[in-house]
C-alpha cells in the first residue's frame, strides 16, 4: 500500500525578535496581559522590503530539499499554503517556483488558502496526489508574513499581539514501508461565522454581506466598484478582526472532535500518540485540548511562546523544530490538528 512520507523538512524564522515589551511602544498592553491570554512571550518579524512570504518559504524549501537528498529538478509539483501572499494574485506557488529556479520542467503549482488550517488541508491534497501515483516529489511550503498587515494601535491589540512571521517546507514522497507515512487526514468547515475571524477588506464584496457603509464601501449605484476607499484607510478597516471568545469556544470543541475522528479511523487511542503538534493558535487552547485528550506534557509540543501564531506555517515549523531536537524519531506516531478562519479545521496522523 502506497502512503505519503515526509522525506525532508526545513524551516525559516526571521532573525528579528519582537518581545511583548517591544509592542508596548505602539499599544496599551503589557507582557503580563499578553502571556496571560495567549502564552506568547515573543515572535519573529521579517525585514520589510527585504523578506517576503515567498523568500522565507524558499529558504525553508531549500533546507527541506537538501534533507530529502534530492535536487530542485526532482520536484514534480508544488503546493503553497498561506494567508499572507506577496500579491493578491498570482499566488506564492509560482513565485517560490521562480525563486528556487524550478522552471525547467514547468511543473504545476497550487495555492492553498485555508488560513490556520492550511497545513492540514494542504497535507490532505498532497497525500491524495502521492497515493494515486500522480507525483513522486511534492514540495509543500507553508509561509506567513503577518507583520506587514497588522493594526498596531491599541484597538487592534487583540489580534496583533498574537501573530508572527515564519516558514516551513517539506518534501513528500511515496513509501511502501509497512505502517510509515500519513495514516489519515480529516478536514471540515462551516461558514456560518465566516466574518468572525476574517480580513474583510480589501475584497470584492462591496459590503454585500456586511452593510456597505459600515465596512467602508460607498453606494455602488453612485460610485461603482471601488476596491479600496479612503474610509477603509481612515477607519483602519484594512486589518484582520477576530471575535476571540467565539473562536476559542469553537476551537476547544472542534480540536478534540477531529482528533478523535482520526484516532477512530485508524483504531488507535490517544495514549499511543508520541507527539501531538497542534496549530499554534493560543497556548490556552492547546492546554485545554491536551487535558481533554488526557495527554501528558511529554506528548505535546508547543512553541507559540517563541514564535507566536504563524497560522499555516505553525504546525510544520513546530514539527521541524521537534525533529531537530530529537523529539521525533522513526516509528513515532505524530498527531496534528488545526482550527481557524472559515471556520475550518482538520487533523492528521503521521507515522514517522
Same-domain check for residues 189 and 209:
no
Distances (CA, A) of 137 to 5, 72, 81, 92, 127: 10, 10, 17, 19, 11
Same domain, 217 and 347: no
Judgement on whether residues 140 and 188 belong to the same structural domain of the protein = no
Euclidean distance between CA atoms 53 and 164, whole angstroms: 12
Q: What is the pLDDT of residues 12-24, one digit of tens each?
A: 999 999 999 999 9
Structural domain tally of the chain? Answer: 3
Q: Which tens digits make up the pLDDT trace of 95-124?
A: 999 999 999 999 999 999 999 999 999 999
Mean pLDDT of the chain: 91
Distances (CA, A) of 38 to 43, 133, 162, 222, 278: 12, 42, 7, 44, 14
Q: Is there a single domain that holds both residue 170 and residue 112?
A: yes
pLDDT on residue 213: 52
Q: How far is CA 303 from CA 114, 308, 336, in A?
A: 21, 8, 14
The reply to whether 108 and 164 lie within a common domain is yes
The whole-angstrom separation of Cα 96 and Cα 53 is 9
Cell of 154: 491599541
Long-range contacts of 99-103 (CB under 8 A, 24+ apart): 99/54, 99/55, 99/57, 99/58, 100/58, 100/61, 100/62, 100/72, 101/72, 102/72, 102/73, 102/75, 102/78, 102/139
Tens digit of each residue's pLDDT (9 = 90 or more) over 244-266: 899 989 999 999 999 999 999 99
> Which range marks the domain in which residue 27 is found?
3-175
190 and 318 together in one domain: yes
User: Do 233 and 325 have their domain in common?
Assistant: no
Asked if 169 and 23 sit in the same domain, the reply is: yes
Confidence bin at 227 (pLDDT 50/70/90): low
Task: Give the confidence band of 278 by pLDDT, cuts at 50, 70, 90.
Answer: very high
Q: Which domain CATH number covers 75?
A: 3.40.47.10
**In this predicted structure, what is the pLDDT of residue 229?**
67
- Based on the domain organization, do 310 and 215 belong to the same domain? no
The DSSP 8-state label assigned to residue 27 in this structure reads S
The residues, any chain, with a CB within 8 Å of residue 16's CB and separated by 6 or more, are 44, 45, 46, 47
140 and 185 part of one domain: no
Shared domain for 213 and 279, answered yes or no, is no
Cβ atoms 155, 64 nearer than 8 A: no
Catalytic residue list:
116, 279, 309
Grid cell listed for 215: 465596512
- 266 and 215 in a single domain? The answer is no
The string of pLDDT tens digits covering residues 173-221 is 999 998 899 999 999 999 999 888 888 766 666 555 555 455 555 555 5
Q: What pLDDT sits at residue 226?
A: 53
Amino acid at each position: 500500500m502506497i502512503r505519503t512520507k515526509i522525506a525532508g523538512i526545513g524551516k525559516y524564522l526571521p532573525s528579528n525578535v519582537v518581545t511583548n515589551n517591544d509592542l508596548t511602544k505602539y499599544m496599551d498592553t503589557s507582557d503580563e496581559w499578553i502571556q496571560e491570554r495567549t502564552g506568547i512571550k515573543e515572535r519573529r518579524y521579517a525585514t520589510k522590503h527585504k523578506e517576503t512570504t515567498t523568500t522565507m518559504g524558499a529558504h525553508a524549501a531549500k533546507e527541506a530539499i537538501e534533507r530529502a537528498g534530492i535536487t530542485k529538478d526532482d520536484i514534480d509539483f508544488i503546493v503553497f499554503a498561506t494567508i499572507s501572499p506577496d500579491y493578491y494574485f498570482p499566488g506564492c506557488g509560482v513565485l517560490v517556483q521562480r525563486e528556487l529556479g524550478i522552471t525547467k520542467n514547468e511543473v504545476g503549482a497550487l495555492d492553498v488558502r485555508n488560513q490556520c488550517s492550511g497545513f492540514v488541508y494542504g497535507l490532505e491534497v498532497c497525500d491524495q496526489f502521492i497515493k494515486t501515483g500522480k507525483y513522486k516529489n511534492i514540495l509543500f511550503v507553508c509561509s506567513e508574513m503577518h507583520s506587514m498587515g497588522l493594526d498596531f494601535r491599541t484597538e487592534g491589540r487583540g489580534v496583533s499581539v498574537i501573530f508572527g512571521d515564519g516558514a516551513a517546507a517539506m518534501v513528500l514522497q511515496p513509501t511502501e514501508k509497512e505502517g510509515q507515512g500519513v495514516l489519515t487526514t480529516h478536514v471540515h468547515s462551516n461558514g456560518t461565522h465566516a466574518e468572525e475571524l476574517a480580513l474583510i477588506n480589501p475584497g470584492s464584496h462591496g459590503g454585500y454581506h456586511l452593510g456597505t457603509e459600515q465596512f467602508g464601501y460607498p453606494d455602488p449605484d453612485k460610485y461603482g466598484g471601488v476596491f479600496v476607499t479612503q474610509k477603509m484607510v481612515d477607519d483602519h478597516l484594512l486589518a484582520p478582526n477576530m471575535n476571540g471568545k467565539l473562536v476559542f469556544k469553537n476551537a476547544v470543541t472542534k480540536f478534540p472532535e477531529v482528533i478523535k475522528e482520526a484516532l477512530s479511523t485508524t483504531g488507535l487511542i490517544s495514549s499511543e500518540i508520541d507527539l501531538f503538534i497542534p496549530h499554534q493558535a493560543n497556548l490556552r487552547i492547546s492546554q485545554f485540548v491536551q487535558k481533554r485528550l488526557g495527554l501528558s506534557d511529554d506528548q505535546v509540543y508547543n512553541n507559540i511562546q517563541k514564535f507566536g501564531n504563524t497560522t499555516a506555517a505553525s504546525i510544520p515549523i513546530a514539527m521541524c523544530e521537534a525533529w531537530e531536537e530529537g523529539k521525533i524519531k522513526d516509528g513515532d506516531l505524530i498527531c496534528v490538528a488545526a482550527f481557524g478562519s472559515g471556520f475550518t479545521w482538520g487533523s492528521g496522523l503521521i507515522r514517522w
